[in-house]
A and B are shown apart, each in its own frame.
Chain A
Amino acid sequence: MTILDVADLRASLGGQEVLKGVSLRVGAGEFVGLIGPNGAGKSTLLRAVLGLTRSTGTVTIDGRAARELNARARARKISYLPQEREIAWPVSVERLVALGRAPHLPPFSRRSASDDAAVREAMARMEVGEFADREATKLSGGEKARVLIARALAQGAPLMLADEPTAGLDPAHQITLMRIFAGLAQEGGSVVACLHDLGLAARWCTRLVLLDKGRIVADGAPDEVLTAQTLRSVYNIEAHLGSIDGRQMVYPLDLAEGVVRGVRE
């Protein structure tokens, strides 16, 4: 079953074409790592799917054209975790996580018991229940990140788009997060996450999509995408590639030959 179908998506930012015809299908149960160098168009792709950036091409969400969905209906299908971890006011963690239920609330009504259950479950999953009553602005960077992820989980949408969710987390919480996303996929949900850590991406994602200069240059299982050849041509790096427990392992070692010479000159 396809939850997201993107065909020939093009978008420009400040006169520069950032997406040059991207086509992508994401099925239920997939944990897709969106990788690529800085400026490849990863964030723009997520934003274009959500309608936050103007684009041409077609986006189909759960069988319906995105243009026909109103904002609330779309919010029930896709949750989004922006790169900026903004929390403007010192609201309690529990309140902040509960904001994720907004697309499910009829106007002028309160949270129902099922909303409360979803909030509790999301907080338990991200292990933020212990500071439910603390002010969200006073948390550490990593704690804030977990609270905001819990907010996105509470939304209960079948597809989650996350923009660099692991940035600023310690290794244990990076792994916890990847496990949670992998768990969501196993339960039949779908996650598309922009990732810079190739090691994490290779180990946990069911599929990697490599973007370069606004185009998809590789798409498939981690060991098909992360080859010495693509790492050299797209990332300009040499990496140690291996396999542990039947999963791809990547460790970036140095800049690629030609680039090193360029740096020295």
Chain B
Amino acid sequence: MSEQARFATVLVVLGIAVAVLFVLSLTTGPAQSGIAAGISALLSGDEGALSLVMREIRLPRAVLGLMIGATLGLSGAVLQGYLRNPLAEPGLLGISASASLGAVLTIYTGLSLTFPLALPLAALAGALCAVLVVRAMAGASGGTLTIILAGIAVSAFAGAMTSLALNLSPNPFAALEIVFWMLGSLTDRSMTHLWLAAPFMLVGWAMLALVARPLDLLTLGEDAAASLGVNLRQVQFLAVTGTAASVGAATAVAGAIGFIGLIVPHVLRPLVGALPSRLLPASALGGAAVLLAADIAVRVLAPGRDLKLGVLTALVGAPFFLWLVWRTRRQML
């Protein structure tokens, strides 16, 4: 099979997987219904109980799962390509940690109780702060090493502030709520969450899609890429800001969900001939499929126990990553 045909096959298979998992996500939950009954209830305009469940609970959950998964997969692929480092992931820039800090502060102050949308808005503000600091640190030269170091510093600081909020938390319930929120979940998200997060994610995706071809050229290193007409400062702006907008919005509504942005690009890279521009769409679809699958799994594995999505992705993702490292090491020997 030619490289081109194999790439098309990968995209089609992933696309079908996403479609199937999306329908399964729509029809999984405590209110049992058959797949056909659920879908027809969703599409009918009536005010029956099942229709309401489908429209107000399942639909936003499934759409958010799809979009957040795509965001994590896409931004992971972009950051690995931009930093030319297979260990890069969306959390590396400090965006997830800062968005979490913003959300935690609203829980800590009790603001999220009086004004529910304060939480995602503060998380977005946190992501914005992170991107401003990281870009200011990187400066005009925009070296990738500075970006990584600044991201680590921002992550560490945001993590410390989150710990401080937990440490000083006024009552155990607030502390518990902070911990649970940070574990990452899609339970009980509404259409409002979707409308809030979707525009940021779409703008972020557009920015990330624009760096596809420059990322291919960066395979040759920064100097060679620049000599081939790549504007390195523009690429840095698009990669960092696009990640901040999409991952910031994802974290704002679902908390920090790890490992998808790290592992999905890693697994798909060999299947698309390692070319960064081809990895972007494949990784977006792959991320969406994995997150939808994980969100179905938390509902099926422990119904009624509210198993957190972020816990599951880390639980499965970390050993899987270990296996990947082991396999890579064997290849290098």
- Please give the residue numbers on chain B whose beta carbons come within 8 Å of chain A beta carbons, in ascending order: 3, 81, 84, 213, 216-221, 223-224, 226-231, 269-270, 273-276
> Which A residues are CB-close (under 8 A) to B213?
102, 107
| Complex Cα gap A52–B142 (Å) | 13
Closest CB of chain A to B196's CB: distance in Å? Answer: 31
Could you pull out 29 A-B pairs where Cβ atoms are within 8 angstroms? A50-B226, A50-B227, A52-B223, A52-B226, A70-B229, A71-B231, A82-B224, A84-B223, A86-B84, A86-B219, A86-B224, A88-B84, A88-B219, A88-B220, A89-B275, A91-B273, A91-B274, A95-B273, A95-B275, A96-B220, A99-B216, A99-B217, A99-B219, A99-B220, A99-B228, A102-B216, A103-B228, A148-B220, A151-B220
Query: Which of chain A's residues have a CB closer than 8 A to the CB of B231?
Result: 71
Interfacial residues, chain A to chain B (CB-CB below 8 A): 47, 50-52, 70-72, 74-75, 78-82, 84, 86-92, 95-96, 99-100, 102-103, 107, 135, 148, 151, 155
Q: Chain B residue with minimal CB distance to A98? A: B216
How many angstroms from the CA of A102 to the CA of B231 in the assembled complex? 13
A102-B228 CB under 8 A given contacts A52-B223, A96-B219: yes
* Bound complex: CA A78 to CA B227 (Å): 8
A82/B221 contact (C-beta < 8 A), A91-B273, A91-B274, A95-B275 known: yes
Interface residue from B84, B219, B228 paired with A91 (Cβ < 8 Å): B219
B residues less than 8 Å from A88 (CB atoms): 84, 218-221
Contact B227 A80 (CB under 8 A): yes
The verdict on A91 contacting B275 (CB below 8 Å), with A47-B223, A52-B223 known, is yes
Having A80-B224, A88-B220, A89-B219, one finds 11 other A-B pairs with CB under 8 Å, namely A70-B229, A82-B227, A84-B223, A86-B219, A99-B216, A99-B217, A99-B228, A102-B217, A135-B274, A148-B220, A151-B220
| Residue of B217, B229, B270 with most partner-chain A CB within 10 A | B229
Measured in the bound complex, the distance between the Cα atoms of B81 and A81 in whole Å is: 21
Closest to A107 in B: B213
- Interface pair A71/B219, CB less than 8 Å apart: no
